[in-house]
Amino acid sequence: MAGRIICLPIFFRLPGLRKVQAIALWPFIFIRDARSQSDRVLLRHEAIHLRQQLELCVIPFYLIYLGEFLWHMVRGKNGHMAYRSISFEREAYRFETVEGYLQDRPLFASFRLGKSGM
């Protein structure tokens, strides 16, 4: 699994992270609970985010991520729906259960998803 995994519970006390189990900040995956190290779906989800960050040279990823979130909020979605509508999250949720997904993933796959699904 790509990325260095760091268990850092205190990190998840920050505002906005209280319900979050893991977060990908290239090149690391931070997890709330050490037991998540065996959660292959969660780790694959975060590894997809690391790939997305890398292919956008990291900083633009966060700007687009935040921009898309705000765009969906302005358009009237609630926080959870706005989050699930972000291109990067749609890809990560759609493929988090697909073993070996990152080996065959097309470049910029987040922006190639159709409108169907999340």
Give the interface with Zn ion as residue ranges (CB under 5 A).
Answer: 89, 92
Using CA of residue 57, residue 59, residue 62, residue 64, what is the dihedral sign? negative
Residue nearest to Zn ion (CB): 92
Minimum distance of Zn ion from residue 65's CB (angstroms): 9
Minimum distance of Zn ion from residue 88's CB (angstroms): 7
Of 4 and 84, nearer to Zn ion (C-beta) is 84
Of 21 and 37, nearer to Zn ion (C-beta) is 21
Encode 5-27: b = buried (16+ Cβ within 10 Å), e = exposed.
beeeeeebeeeeeeeeebbbbbe
